[in-house]
Amino acid sequence: MALNVFDHDEYRPPVWKSYLYQLQQEAPHPRRLTCTCEGDNRPKYYGREYHGMISREEADQLLSQAEGSYLIRESQRQPGTYTLALRFGNQTRNFRLYHDGKHFVGEKRFESIHDLVTDGLITLYIETKAAEYIAKMTINPIYEHVGYTTLNQEPTLKKHLPQSPEAPDGPAPAKDDRNAEERLTSLVRRATLRESDLAAKYEKVHNFKVHTFRGPHWCEYCANFMWGLIAQGVKCADCGLNVHKQCSKVVPNDCQPDLRHVKKVYSCDLTTLVKAHNTKRPMVVDMCIQEIEARGLQSEGLYRISGFSELIEDVKLAFDRDGEKADISSNAYEDLNIIAGALKLYFRELPIPLITYDAYPRFIETGKIADAEKRLESLHEALKLLPPAHCETLRCLMAHLKRVTEYEKENLMSSENLGIVFGPTLMRAPGLDAMTALNDIRYQRLVVESLITNEDVLF
């Protein structure tokens, strides 16, 4: 039975393109030109490839015999600096050479000169032979036809796995399921999950980091080989997508974080967390709010009185370790202020605040508006600047805090008091001097107070 992922299309595995791989195999091999003279001034991190203070012309003559040959020389113009002389394309190329524990001439750092030269020859050869091809790699990518996501939504995945018509009814053997899943590439996984209704429909950019791939790897955007010895491309730290650095600039913002990569709850980007767990809001927010409201909102000084910091840290560790299975019931934590403190801590530790850095100036300007009606209009516009997951979480929190104010006579927590508590927790601006940050506290309070008071109108 075919694996159907689109309405009219049948899934076809991507065709990995071998042209750049073949070029890497053809690239010149490094040939170290050893120096026969013994020198006392040779740096300890260089070997016999070091030839001392020789001129460019001398280096060129020594290297003229073979493609890929190389040596290291000390600069005559700037003593104490070193140059890697490398023969490529029937000419000698000179690169300023650095060492800080590793060898480098550019961004990449290498354990040995041999590795640096090997990678350099591969890069020079491929970028010389295939410059036009590389420039057009991002045209007609396989990503557009197959796409990418992760293996989080197991029920949906299994629904789309190919079934043998001869297979009997009932669950297939565990070993067969496992083998089938292992055969699915990251690209296939997106195809199988593409139509899932379980995933939160939030846009998320990929969190790409330079990565060294062991063994041959192909780009999951353009299907071309990722050449080089180290740092051949980038890998998304949240979903595991592997692409060329240049391809990463055109990959759509459709990261589907994988729980195997997202290993904590606190200090994790909010959108990353909700997409990894397929929820509308972070589970820590929902669970803490539910627990607080279940125990009663009449607790005096709710959110103002601090719980024991060690126990709040215990709650944090429980969420990081157990996720939605964390036990925050009264049996585990009798003091409600511990749960309230854990919720505030979650917001304080967000790498991007709930009211994001980009939206912060607009919200602060809103707080400065004296006219209540105009402030409300400005707040409505400012909320549009928030990412969907942030806006939804803010809506849920403000609705909860509005319910807290309904018991103001018992808990003594008005919207103004809650604004004082949550203003600096939900809003932070990077790079502000201490005086400006201090002055902003007043407006942070007014913003949160207005959000609570007008929650039913704004959201």
Cα 191 to Cα 202: distance, rounded to the nearest angstrom? 18
Buried/exposed code over 83-104 (b: 16+ C-beta within 10 A; e: otherwise):
bbbbbbeeebeebebeeeeebe
329: left (phi over 0), alpha (psi -120 to 50) or beta: beta
* pLDDT in the model for residue 341: 96
Q: How confident is the model at residue 393 (pLDDT cuts 50, 70, 90)?
A: very high
Cα 282 to Cα 396: distance, rounded to the nearest angstrom? 11
Q: Assess whether pLDDT exceeds 60 at residue 42.
A: yes
DSSP letter at 325 equals G
Helix ranges (DSSP H) in 171-300? 174-183, 186-193, 245-248, 270-277, 283-295
Q: How confident is the model at residue 254 (pLDDT cuts 50, 70, 90)?
A: confident
CA distance to 38, 168, 171, 311, per residue, from 437 (Å): 63, 67, 60, 30
* pLDDT in the model for residue 139: 85
Buried/exposed code over 174-199 (b: 16+ C-beta within 10 A; e: otherwise):
eeeeeeeeeebbbbbbbbbbbebeeb
320 class by beta-carbon count within 10 Å (0-12 exposed, 13-18 middle, 19+ buried): middle
Q: Are 126 and 20 in contact (CB under 8 A)?
A: yes
CB-based contacts of 296, cutoff 8 Å, min separation 6: none
The per-residue pLDDT for range 210-234, each reduced to its tens digit, is: 999 988 888 989 989 999 999 999 9
Cα 393 to Cα 350: distance, rounded to the nearest angstrom? 13
Q: Assess whether pLDDT exceeds 80 at residue 455.
A: yes
The per-residue pLDDT for range 60-88, each reduced to its tens digit, is: 999 998 999 999 999 988 889 999 999 99
Share in percent of the chain as helix, strand, coil (round to 5): 45, 10, 45
* pLDDT in the model for residue 392: 96
Q: Are 424 and 350 in contact (CB under 8 A)?
A: no
The neighbour count for residue 298, using CB atoms within 10 Å, is 11
Helix ranges (DSSP H) in 80-136? 113-129, 131-135
DSSP letter at 234 equals E
Q: Is 82 helix (H, G, I), strand (E, B) or coil?
A: strand
**CA 155, chain centre distance (Å):** 26
**CA 439, chain centre distance (Å):** 33
Buried/exposed code over 232-264 (b: 16+ C-beta within 10 A; e: otherwise):
bbbbbbbbbbbbbbbbbeebeebbbbbeebbee
In one-letter notation, the amino acid at residue 420 is I
The per-residue pLDDT for range 344-361, each reduced to its tens digit, is: 999 999 989 999 999 999
Question: What number of helices (H) and strands (E) belong to the chain?
Answer: 19, 8
